Structure formats: structure tokens, C-alpha cells
Structure 1
Amino acid sequence: MAIKTQKLKKRGRLMWARTLLGVLIASTVLQGCTGSKKKYVYVSYNKGGVQANQGQSSQSMVSATPSGAASSLQASSLASAAPAGMQAPRAAGSGSGGLRNAVMAALSYSSEVRSAEAALSAAGIDVSIARAGYYPSLTGGAGVGSDGDHDYNVTLSQPIYDWGQTRAEVSGAEASRNATIARARAQREKVMLDAANAYIAVARAREIEKVAQEQLSAYQRIAGLARQRTSAGYGDATEVALAGVHVGEAESTLENARGALRDARSVYASRIGREAPGTTDVPELSSALSSLLRISGGARTQSVNLRQRVDQAPSVVLAQAEAAKANAAISAQKADLFPKLSVEAYVRGDEANEDPNTGVGLRLKGPTFKGLSNVQRVNAARFAYDEATWQVETQRREVTRQVQAYLDQEPTLRARLAILQEQRTKSRELRNLYEEQFKAGTRSLTDLITVQSDLTRIETSLVETRYDLYTLQYEAAGALGMLGSVLNITAPSGNS
């Protein structure tokens, strides 16, 4: 009778353990299938003891998101080039379209952008893996000895309290995902800026080549005037020789300009994946940047708005995400110093026992200490966080420097443009007058060559100044992460 009672008790424990095992497995499956509305049972620790709470998942307890929805969310985050809460200004490139089309072609051609977008598809996987720490874990094993003996075991374990380690790991995985999104956005901005700079470089080289061609034509005309005057008996052979020297110098300058243009076109092809277009019209970004930075307001308003825009720059957002990841690593390393509490249901057996051994209980698992390595890992995580924090400030200062360079130099460059344009008009009038006086014999060839050299220098400076202004504008927009917005270019609506 005692033996029968003992067997009934064992069978009752077995049925109870199997029932609990089935409930926990079903709970695990349901949690994996439900969306963000599932509830968690989590434990908070305070000086009064351990308190269990139940509630809807929130920001601190990250809700599960299906992989497809996560990809859509990441794609929409990447597509929104403009920072949240800010209306993008009118696209600067909507008028000509040449530069905008080149930038869009560069985005399609860039392997770096493709790589960053591929990383977005996998960005949510680590979050799902880290979130699995909240769920029960099922382990099992079986063994067979050389004499035929065998044993087996199945254990289902549900974490109860881990000093916030799982929460820290989820936070770190989320920060890593945010860093991936920010890195993809920063990569897009870099590719767009490189393409814009290549387009501007081609336009600059073409303008310089045009100036060099006009210079050669002018010296050839001057050489022709010198030959006419010499043949008429008003000059000598030295004037023809001097004019020939300057014609040769102009030819050399033109060849250099053509070489620079070929080099610019080669860079353009390598970045954009196709040949440079026949015409290169560079749209101005001054009004768009003024709208972004509210330059028309007072100095105080401009300074505050600049700081806000800098904090939303892709490189700064990326550095902030890396700092958040490093901060979560500190919490995870601290939690690893303490034991973890979990509840377990198990089934064990071997050939010696007819009925398997089943049971449910609590397990307290302590950390493994190897000298002071556990504490040293916490210190190392703190130093990594300090480094990441300073990297945020470094990126913030770099973006501010680039934008401030535009704000400081734009007035000077525009004033210089106005001065050079006036000088060019006067120099052309003076050159025409000198040519007439040279024909009349009242001006020397040296005077004519000097005024032509001055005109070439002014025209070259005019081209360089104008394209320096363009470069500053695009560098500032790219640093702020607004180049895609001002050119009306957004990321694709989905990434697969």
C-alpha cells in the first residue's frame, strides 16, 4: 500500500510538472506571436525588498515588434532626412535638376549606401535576441554510456530577477539599432555630399577651362595685331616674338585646365557611375540654409537654433547612440556582479528509475569570479562611456565648425564677388580701349598684355570665389544632414 501511494505521489508530481511545463511553453509561444500589446511580469528592486509588477510594455520594457514592422520603421527613420518637428525648405535643386539627378544617381550607384541599407534589415535582430532574456529558456540533454546506461533531462527556466541585466542588454541593443539607423543616414549624406562636390568640381573646371580658352583667344588676337602693326612698319619683330611667348604660355595654361577637367570628370564618374553631363548648373543653397538656421533673426536666436540643428546632425546622433550603448554596457556589467534568481521546472530520468524525477523550484545562480576581472570590466565600461561621451562633443564641435565657416565666410565671399564682377566689367572696357589705342600706335604691346593678364586673373578669381561659396553651402548642408532635404531627395520607402 505504501509503495502504491508513493507511485501515485510520483505520478501526481509528474503530471503537475508536465502541466507547468506545458503552460510555460505555451506562454513562450504566445509571447513570440503577439505584438507590442503583450504584458510582462517584471521585478523592481528597492530598499524595501523585491516587488513584482505587471503592466503593459513601455519604453523601459521594450515591446516586441515583428521584423517586417521593424524594417518599415527603420526605413522611415532613414527616409526622414529632416529632423523631427522641422519643415524642410523648398528644394534648391528643383529648378535645374542636374545636380539633383547626379546625387540620386550616386545614391543608386554607391556600394556604401547599399551596405548601410542592408545593415538596416538586420538592425532589429539583436534587439529581439536581447529581449528573449525576458522569456523562459528550455534546455535538455541525453547521454548513453559504454555499458548501455542512459540518462536524460529537460529543464524549463523562467528568470525572475537579474538586477536589470536583461533590461540593460535590451537598451544596449536598441542603442545599437539606433546607431545603425544613424550610420545609414550619415552614409547617405556623405555619398550625397561627395556627389555634389564632384559635380561642383566639374563645373568649376569647365569654367576655368573657358577662362583659359578666352585667354588664348585674346593673346592670339593680340599676336595678330602685333603682326599687322609690324608689317605696316609701326612695330618691330620683338613685339611679334613677345606676343608669341604669351600665346605659348596661354596654350600651356589651357592644357593644364583641360587636364584638371579630365581629372574632375574621372572623379565624377567614379562617384556617380556615369559620365558628367554636358552642362553643370549648380543651384544655390543660401536661402534654404537661412531658413534652416533662421539667420534673419537675432544673434541669440541664431545661436540657439544652430545648437538645435547641430544636435540633430547625423554624425552627432550616431555618436549619441554609441554613448547610449556604452552606458547600457555599464549597467549590464554591474548586474553581472550579482546572483540571478529564476524558477525551474525539470524532468530527469535514467534507466535505473522507472518513473522520471520531476520537480519545480527556485534557483539562485551566482557569477563566476576570476580575480578582479568582473570589477575591472565595469571600470572598462565606464571608460568606454567617457570616451563615447567626448566623441559626441567632438562631433558636435566639428559640425558647428563647418556650419560656422559658412556663416562667417559667406558675407566676405559675396562682397568679393560683387567687387570682382565690377572689376571684370572695367577691365574688359579698358582692354578694348587699349586695343584701339594699340592699333592707333599710342599704346605699347606691353600695356595690352598687362591689361589682358589682369582680366584673366580677375575672371579666374571670380570663378574660384563663386564655387568656393557653393562648396561652403553644400558642406554646411551635408554636415547638418539636410542635403537630401534641400535637394528634395528622400530614402526609399522600404528596405528588403
Structure 2
Amino acid sequence: MGSPKSARSGKPDANSGFQICCGRADGRKAIMRRLALFSLIFLVDAGVAVANPFHEELEELLETHKRILATEAVVHSLAEGLRISEKDLWPEVSVTALQGRENRNNAEGTANTGVAISEFDLTLTQPIDFWQSKGSAIEIARLQYTQGQLGLEQTIQSILLEAITATIGLRTATLVESYARTSVANIKTQAQLEDAKVAKGAGLSTDVLQAKIQLAGAEARLSLSKGALRQAINRYRTVFGHEPPAASDIPILDIPLYKLPRTKEECVELALENNFQIQTVRNGEQVAKANIKQTRATSFRPDLNLILDSKWKSNVSGITGDTTEWIAKLEMKYNFNVGGSAMNSYRASQQNYLAASNQTQDARTLIEEQAKNTFEQLQVAQENAGFLENQANIAGEFLALAREERQLGRRSLIDVLSGETAEINALSDAEAAKSQVAITAYTLLFILGKLEISSVKVAAVIIE
């Protein structure tokens, strides 16, 4: 991954201090222009967003991600289980064929027999689902299939949120590392100027030490920002499965303002209606209710079957020659445990339904809280981003004035160096705050169950 481009600060020279400071000011202004552009991109309406290959990359990710493929396989398995349950209502055919020899020792006065025999039996059993035992099983399988589909959609949106967060985090880490690198370069330049002044007898050695102190702090911040960038790269690589693009090619993600609810009440209403966690536990409650019906039918009701049985026999049972049997019957069969285990099964199904019902209510409460908190976090993050951007602007203006006054002898070196530190911290904080706004916005869409590729807005890049 390419290194972020540092701001131009000029060549250090003892006789050109003012020009060098102007060069650093130009570098700072360039950074501020990029920051302002990034702020504008995050705050503009979704109408300025244009198509971007990032959407195609997201589509490819959702088609190939192993977690999604695994969930799809589970859904296919549940679909087959539903077909199995539906086909339990179909008749079953049993075929038996035999051939051998039968020796019979008959009663006195009757000759014994020993002949070759053959027999072919064909039985058709049609279940009669009078008490809906199989119908309940079909209903359960259908609900489980729906639950699997909900899980698949939730997994897709979860992966999409991870991809969005990884992309925003990578861009933020790249910019913060760039700011830290620029700060180190500027402080190094100032330290070289002070060294040159001391060598000519015009400077103070304490100023040199102050510059070196600030330089050590700036290098420490640069080291931290490099570590954060490496972690962001690792996260991007884990989510997307390939190396991240160059810094200039990282997409700038816009906030889908038009998809976000305008009030907290609307946010809660949408979350309770569309959140996949709530839909999943609600579906589980329906499964538990259907299981009560199935348990009642299988434990306290007999099985009913219509049976058609036909047999073709040759020399069987001591009867010489061919015989044919046709039997049509309605069979009722009931198996029960003398210890009353059927009642225990029924009570267990009732308790499972009670548990599922309580889980649904608990999930609604938690999602309502989560929706409210995320909505409020988004508002706070937007306000915080505005304040920090203003702080960054003020810090930049102060640094520019401090450098000019330093040339005129009205400011100490520590004022300039402190201003340099304050500006880089303000720029980094503003960048992190804007990232948090975007991540919170997309997280809110995930909670609302509305996060789709079409929701991801990629801002147009303005090339100066």
C-alpha cells in the first residue's frame, strides 16, 4: 500500500526562514483543503453520489464470502427439509418379493408337501392427517425455512456493514497517518532552522531543545498512527480477502441521509418492524407454538392410515397353484408410554413456547434501546464532528499567525510548536469524528434492517 503524500515544507535554510514557514503554511492549507473536501463529501445530500466500482466490489464480496455461502447452504438444507415434510402426506409403497422352497409336515391323514414357492406383495399406505400431526410438521419446517432466510439476510447485511466500516476505517487511518507524517516533517524543519540560528549565534539552545521535545512527541504520534493504519489494513484484508488499494484509490463513503429516519419515534417504529433479530425470535415463537400443536397430535391422537394390500402367491402355505389376495383397510394405531411421557412432552412444548415468547419481548426491548441509543449517538456524533472541524480550522489559523509573529519576534518557539501539535491533534480528532458519523449512520441502517448495497453512497472525487 502506498504511503500518504506528505505536505511540501521547503528546504531548510538559515537565511530563508520566512519562505520556509510560508511553505509549511501552504502545506497546512493543502491539508485543510482536503479536510474541508472530506467534510463536504460527508455532509452533502445523497443526490451528488455517483456510480462507483465499489458497488461492484461489494456485490462480488457478498457472492463469495464464506460466511454467506455457509448460511446459504443452511437455507438450502432447510428447503429440502420442508420438501421432505410436505411429501410425508404422500402415500408410501412397499414391495416385497420372495422365492424359495417350503416343506410342510401336515397333520396325520394329510400328505406332507415340499414344493418351490414364490410370492409378490404390494402394499400402498396413505396417511390420513386427521389431527394435523403432519400438517404441524409442515408448518414447523416452513417456519424454520423462513427463519433461515432471515438469518441469511441478516448475515448479508452484517458482512456489508463490516465492509463499510473497514473501508471508512482504512481511509481515516490513512489520513491521520498522513497528518502525523506532515507534522513530523514540519517540526524537523523548524528544529533545523533553530540549529542553524544557534550555529550563527542568533538563536537559543533552549529553543533547539524545545523543538526536539516536540519532535519526539510528534514521532510518537506518528508511530501510533502507523500502528492504527496497519490494523486498519489487516481488517480490510480480512473482510475483503485481498490487499487494500492505494491511498488515493480508497473510496470516500457518503452518508445516506435520505434513508435515515428523522425522528427517534420513527426510528424505533422501523426497528421493531424490520429488525432481523426481532423477526428471527418472533419466527421462533411461532415455531414453538406449532410444536405444541404437533406434540398434542402425535402424543394424544392415534395414527390413521388407509392401506391397500395385494399379494400374488404360488404354492404358498401348502396350497398348490396360484392364489391372489386383495385387502383394503382403515388402520388406527396408537402407541403410548404407561409412565405418561406424552404429558411430559406436552408440558415441555408449552414451556418452550413460554420461553420463546419471553425471548421475543426481551428482544423487542433490547432493539428499542439499541435503536434509540444509535439514533442519539448519530446526533451527538454529527454535533461533535462540527465542533471538532471548527476546532481544526481555528487551530490552523492560530498556527499560521503564530508562525508569522515568530518571524517578527513576537512569539516564542514553544508557541509555534504547541500550535503545530494542537493543529495535528485537531485534524486527527476531526477526521475520526467524521468517520464515526458515517459508521454510526450505517450501523443505524443495519439495526433498521435497511442496509443494502444501494444504501452505500460513494462520493464523487473532485480533482483539483
TM-score by length of 2: 0.76
Aligned mate of 1:325, from 276, 287, 290: 287
| Kept in 2: contact 1:338–1:367 (CA 8 A) | no
Residue-by-residue CA offset, 1:389-431 (whole Å, 9 max, x unaligned): 3333344344434432332122222222222222222211211
In structure 2, what is the equivalent of residue 178 of structure 1?
146
In structure 1, what is the equivalent of residue 303 of structure 2?
340
Residue range with higher mean Cα deviation, 142-151 or 368-377: 142-151
| Kept in 1: contact 2:194–2:207 (CA 8 A) | yes
Which structure has the greater CA radius of gyration?
A: 2
Matched AA of 1:408 = E
In structure 1, what is the equivalent of residue 52 of structure 2?
97
In structure 2, what is the equivalent of residue 434 of structure 1?
402
1:403 is aligned to 2:358: no
How big is the shift at 1:171? 0.4
Aligned mate of 1:106, from 48, 61, 64: 61
Q: How does 1:171-250 map to 2 (within 5 A)?
A: 171-250=139-218
Q: Distance in 2 between the 1:368 and 1:142 partners? A: 33
Residue-by-residue CA offset, 1:456-480 (whole Å, 9 max, x unaligned): 2211211111111111111111222
Q: Distance in 2 between the 1:159 and 1:378 partners? A: 23
Q: Distance in 1 between the 2:309 and 2:402 partners? A: 105
How big is the shift at 1:227? 2.3
1:274 is aligned to 2:242: yes
Q: Distance in 1 between the 2:293 and 2:257 partners? A: 46
Please, which runs of 5 or more residues in structure 2 have no aligned partner?
Answer: 1-44, 104-116, 458-464
Change in 2 beyond 3 A, CA 1:93/1:429: closer
Aligned mate of 1:133, from 85, 88, 96: 88
Residue-by-residue CA offset, 1:96-154 (whole Å, 9 max, x unaligned): 63653442232133011122233444443222221223222222445678967776643
Report the secondary structure of 2:125's partner residue: strand
How big is the shift at 1:305? 6.1
Change in 2 beyond 3 A, CA 1:287/1:179: same
TM-score by length of 1: 0.72
| Kept in 2: contact 1:225–1:439 (CA 8 A) | no
Q: Distance in 2 between the 1:462 and 1:179 partners? A: 42
In structure 1, what is the equivalent of residue 16 of structure 2?
none
In structure 2, what is the equivalent of residue 283 of structure 1?
253
In structure 1, what is the equivalent of residue 444 of structure 2?
476
In structure 1, what is the equivalent of residue 355 of structure 2?
387
Residue-by-residue CA offset, 1:40-97 (whole Å, 9 max, x unaligned): xxxxxxxxxxxxxxxxxxxxxxxxxxxxxxxxxxxxxxxxxxxxxxxxxx97895263
Q: Distance in 2 between the 1:452 and 1:176 partners? A: 60
Q: Distance in 1 between the 2:98 and 2:359 partners? A: 52
Matched AA of 2:339 = G
Q: Distance in 2 between the 1:226 and 1:305 partners? A: 58
Q: Tell me how many residue pairs correspond in the alignment.
A: 392
Residue range with higher mean Cα deviation, 102-111 or 140-149: 140-149
Change in 2 beyond 3 A, CA 1:271/1:391: same
In structure 2, what is the equivalent of residue 365 of structure 1?
333
| Kept in 1: contact 2:271–2:371 (CA 8 A) | no
| Kept in 2: contact 1:333–1:381 (CA 8 A) | yes
RMSD across aligned C-alpha pairs, in angstroms? 2.8
Report the secondary structure of 1:134's partner residue: coil
How big is the shift at 1:168? 0.5
Change in 2 beyond 3 A, CA 1:282/1:376: farther
Q: Distance in 1 between the 2:194 and 2:291 partners? A: 80
Q: Distance in 1 between the 2:145 and 2:222 partners? A: 52
Residue-by-residue CA offset, 1:152-191 (whole Å, 9 max, x unaligned): 6432222334411111011011101111211111111111
| Kept in 1: contact 2:122–2:311 (CA 8 A) | yes
How big is the shift at 1:387? 2.8
Change in 2 beyond 3 A, CA 1:169/1:375: same
1:124 is aligned to 2:79: yes
Q: Distance in 1 between the 2:53 and 2:210 partners? A: 43
| Kept in 2: contact 1:269–1:275 (CA 8 A) | yes
Report the secondary structure of 2:254's partner residue: coil
Report the secondary structure of 2:332's partner residue: strand
Q: Distance in 2 between the 1:426 and 1:231 partners? A: 34
In structure 1, what is the equivalent of residue 275 of structure 2?
313
How big is the shift at 1:487? 2.9
| Kept in 1: contact 2:88–2:134 (CA 8 A) | yes
Matched AA of 1:135 = W
Q: Distance in 2 between the 1:450 and 1:461 partners? A: 16
Q: How does 1:251-262 map to 2 (within 5 A)?
A: 251-262=219-230
Residue-by-residue CA offset, 1:226-245 (whole Å, 9 max, x unaligned): 22442343432232123123
In structure 2, what is the equivalent of residue 493 of structure 1?
none
Report the secondary structure of 1:364's partner residue: strand
Residue range with higher mean Cα deviation, 333-342 or 97-106: 97-106
In structure 2, what is the equivalent of residue 87 of structure 1?
none
How big is the shift at 1:216? 0.9
Matched AA of 2:89 = Y
Change in 2 beyond 3 A, CA 1:404/1:100: farther
Report the secondary structure of 2:243's partner residue: coil
Q: Distance in 1 between the 2:151 and 2:229 partners? A: 33
| Kept in 1: contact 2:46–2:256 (CA 8 A) | no
| Kept in 2: contact 1:399–1:480 (CA 8 A) | no
Q: Distance in 1 between the 2:306 and 2:279 partners? A: 40
